[in-house]
Amino acid sequence: MRRSRRMAAAMSALAVAAGGLVSAAVIGVGPAHADHCDPAQANQTPRATQTPQRNRNRNQNQDQNQDQNQQQDQNQQGQNQDQQGQDQQGQDQNQQGQDQQGQDQQGQNQDQGRQQGQQNGDQQQNADQQDQAPQGGGAAVLDPAQSPDSNDNNGDDQAQAPDPDQNAQTFRRRNRPTRTATPVPSQGQGQNGNGNGTASPTASPTSGNDDDHNECADLGPFVQDFVDIRQVQPRQLDARIGRNGSRGSFVSQCGTNRNGHNNPDNFIVAPGVSNGAHHLHDYVGNLSTNGFSTDESLAAAGTTCQFGDKSTYFWPVLRDRKVDQNTEDPDGNVGQVLRARNVTLQFRGNAASRVVAMPRFLRLITGDAKAATNGGANARAAWTCTGFQNRISPDKYPLCPRGSQVVRILDFPSCWDGQNTDSANHRTHVVFPGQGGACPQGTRAIPALRMTLTYSVPQGPSFAVDAFPEQKHNPVTDHADFANVMPDRLMQFVVSCINRGRRC
């Protein structure tokens, strides 16, 4: 009797221990990190990892149930052997001993029944706990760093488990240091000469210090940097033109950079420096523009513009972030360059006065390439969609309805100090009109350049403007540059069209 009880107790302890080990193995599986390289996939990756783990948990539960059934069969076999031994012993005893043995046997069967019931209850409780483990959140997601063969040899799990490097390859820095231009522009100017920068409340957030998680997540942009254009409130972009205002316009036809004139230079802000911008520019107009351009070199070069306009117009490129290109770029500007489908370079009038001619070789900048960290004082980004030009987002990439194209609007300052073609911060010699459209006292209105760039982009939050690495491709950093190299006669024609209310 004692031997059978000890055997039953040992088997029960073994079953509980085995169930605990399986439970610990299931609960110990850690969550996978989401891949933030493509903003469109940031919230989808964890969901994709749940299906192979559910299959793995289901296989573990089936294996555990088989082990429990085998243990129960062993217990029953041991009990039957004890019962046979007890029956044989009863036959060798006298009738009185048989009666006594029968009573003892009945008590033993009752004890064994209670022990078996308790054992089955413990096993059922362990099985229930294991079935419920994936619902707690810790065991439902497969750790992508864990080998597919660590728990079982299921080939299907290995095929379905997501490769954490598959998407990260497109957008990560590949652990290369950021390239630094030498010499470096004045520290107080920023990319476009902004010396009044403050901490920006619009800077894109980072995602912590985990190296694996930040391998590509530190590039930006982020899902919160995009907005459905239909959720943007309508507003008026231009001031109302008064009685003395100039209503005409002139459009310089310069193409869309089909000739592939691109470089990461900026001769206005960082003259004499290669890669002074740390991001790629699209150029139209003057064919020679680079970091070493001068008034003389620009005047001697050819142009893509009509009527001999040798001015240079340039802006940071827009990229399709879903395409695996330029992945070795040390500044994190990855993806396929999207050439604008349409480029409109329009010179417009002033809402309160007539305009005067721009001086030749006048240099202008608009926006702030470091607005995400400098603050919004000089930011001039304007993002919209075709068919929704009355809805302008200053700090979000627009998500356009199907059939609508992304539009960048870049307005330049147009109130000249009357003397200088440039200034130390590249801003104070030409400023923007006031809120009513009139130029500040001491300045004179010149033709106001507006660049309108139209793009066909992939659906969803999957594109970004090139930027300095620390700006994380924040849309508020959009900017552009211009240097006037029009012949004097052409500039006089532009002024005449604007002041006479003509559209040329």
User: What does the pLDDT look like over 245-288, one tens digit per residue?
Assistant: 999 999 999 999 999 999 999 999 999 999 999 999 999 999 99
Paired tokens of 445: 């209105």
Paired tokens of 236: 């008026």
Q: What are the domain boundaries of the chain?
A: 2-164, 218-504
Residue 274: enclosing H or E segment and its boundaries? none
Return d(Cα 189, Cα 444) in angstroms, integer.
25
Return d(Cα 316, Cα 192) in angstroms, integer.
13
Q: What is the mean pLDDT of the chain?
A: 73
Paired tokens of 489: 């006669």
How much is the average pLDDT of 169-192? 38
Return d(Cα 478, Cα 364) in angstroms, integer.
15
Which tens digit of pLDDT belongs to each residue from 420-433? 999 999 999 999 99
Which tens digit of pLDDT belongs to each residue from 337-356? 999 999 999 999 999 999 99
Return d(Cα 77, Cα 62) in angstroms, integer.
23
Does the model's pTM come out above 0.75? Answer: no
b/e per residue, 102-118, with b = 16+ CB within 10 A? eeebeebeeebeebbee
Instruction: Find the helix packing angle between 50-92 and 2-27, rounded to 10°.
Output: 180
